A and B are shown apart, each in its own frame.
Chain A
Amino acid sequence: MTPTPTTDIKIDARSFSLFFGKAIALREISLPIRRNSILGIIGPSGSGKTSFLRAINRLNDLTPECHIEGVLAIDGEDIYHPHFDPVALRKRVGMVFALPIPLPLSIYENVVYGPRLGGRRPLRTELDELVENSLRAAFLWDEVKDRLHTSGLRLSGGQQQRLCLARVLAMRAEVILLDEPCSGLDPISTAKIEEALTALAARHTIVLVTNNTKQAARVADETAFFLMGELVEHGPTRQLFTVPRDTRTNDYVTGRFG
């Protein structure tokens, strides 16, 4: 059971810095992320947006000479505390990458793969229900319900990406991290992912890294602009795309650099 939320902040970075050896990838990021909302992270390549995303489920841990300073907390708990279990963290914090990577299994088996790994063996009826709910939440159910036992690899790119999203949802993740989830998708597939994310935000905290600033403008409740490892500006999306406070934000969102 997740502890009862005591604050509307789900993820809280406080003076969080990330180093790879002597190189600094993130410099003193202070960024509270609201529960059940979508945060869009935008910025040119090398700005640190993906490093920040990966830091939220400690995917940088195995990178040699990686270390951090400051605090990154989820539900008030410091996820970099020595006693914090990264495996437990990753059950709560799911991730979808730019390139969809379905397992070479059926659609059904792709969704239940994670839940089958953990603890007691679930009943078939429980799994059936989980598959349907997860695929519905990922806006994929109607397209695949008649062929659940065909290979996930035979789906289109957009469908594969929604399958990966369903896989995260089947784990009952509280936080969904997405790194450029629509970079290879056509506008219709992109719209379906965005529709799914908007609906999922009612019960999940979503962090979306995107090079497509218009995507952040469309779906994010709040947007953060990263530049050279620093957080330049963070605020309501409407503000960032109408009256940004920082001229660097204005220059980036209007395409003057990046």
Chain B
Amino acid sequence: MERHFDEQLAGLKALLIKMSALAELMITDALRVLVNRDAATAEVVARHEQLVNDLQIEVDELCLTLIATHQPVAGDLRYLLGAVKTNTDIERLADLAVNICEKAVILLNYPPVKPFVIIPEMAAITNGMVKDSLHAYVNRDATLARSVLARDDEVDNRKRRVTNELAEHIRHFPETTTAALELILVARDLERIGDHATNIAENAIFVVQGKDVRHNAELRPRE
């Protein structure tokens, strides 16, 4: 039976998809500012951040209204709790895209440190994670969600490689220290974007299966 509540949930889903799509775009654009040294795109990222912030408030208000008016239980309750948490994660990862963009703008004042290889790879992986985690959540797909969790290690490994390589670079070329440090922070921001996508994927698993997989909770004995 299609309920009025389902129509409202569809509205919520549309808002989250829009938010997530904007956040993905922001990550891509932040990388364009960084890699292509394209200063103009930084303004686009800032504009999109405002849209994501507005959507965050709209999603929270809608969740609050749906919880208050429908007092959902079971699958509906898990979906709405998941929406509240996912909403926060998307907003945070949009913030991280802004952080990357700000560092990219600072780096425009310095000559390129070295050719970009690993950082764009990290961005590609995290963008895929963001997209898939959100799809796993809205489409209640636990298999897709678990594939996102598996990818987080790939991002973490690359972050370590970037940090080590840049530390080595600083030793040989101390004059690049400021720029190289900014790049290390960019890698850290991308790693955190991966963490937020992981959170969203964990939410998705909870929504679909009712299992809490955070912090290896699956391995802990239950009462």
Contact = CB atoms under 8 A, between A and B. Distances in A.
Contacts of A240: 74
B69 interface: no
A257 B71 contact: no
B78 A243 contact: yes
Given A256-B1, A256-B3, A257-B1, A242 B72 contact: no
Interface in B54-84: 71-78
B78 A255 contact: no
B210 interface: yes
A241 interface: yes
B5 interface: yes
Nearest to A258: B1
A249 B210 CA distance: 14
A242 B1 contact: no
B5 to A, nearest CB: 7
Given A256-B1, A257-B1, A214 B71 contact: yes
A255 B77 CA distance: 12
Contact of A242 (B3, B5, B71, B77): B77
A241 B3 contact: no
A66 interface: no
Contacts of B5: 255
Nearest to A256: B1
A257 B210 CA distance: 21
Classify chain A's interface size. 10 to 19
A71 interface: no
B2 to A, nearest CB: 9
Nearest to B75: A250
Nearest to B211: A243
A241 B74 contact: yes
A228 to B, nearest CB: 17
A213 interface: yes
Contacts of B71: 214
A217 interface: yes
A176 interface: no
Contacts of A197: none
A217 B73 contact: yes
A93 B55 CA distance: 56
Contact of A249 (B1, B74, B76): B74
A150 interface: no
A253 B3 contact: no
A86 interface: no
A213 B72 CA distance: 11
Contacts of A45: none
Contacts of B76: 254
Query: Which 6 residue pairs across A and B have the least CB separation, nearest first?
Result: A243-B210, A241-B73, A254-B76, A250-B74, A250-B75, A253-B73
Given A241-B73, A244-B74, 10 more contacts: A214-B73, A217-B73, A240-B74, A241-B74, A241-B77, A242-B77, A242-B210, A249-B74, A253-B74, A255-B5
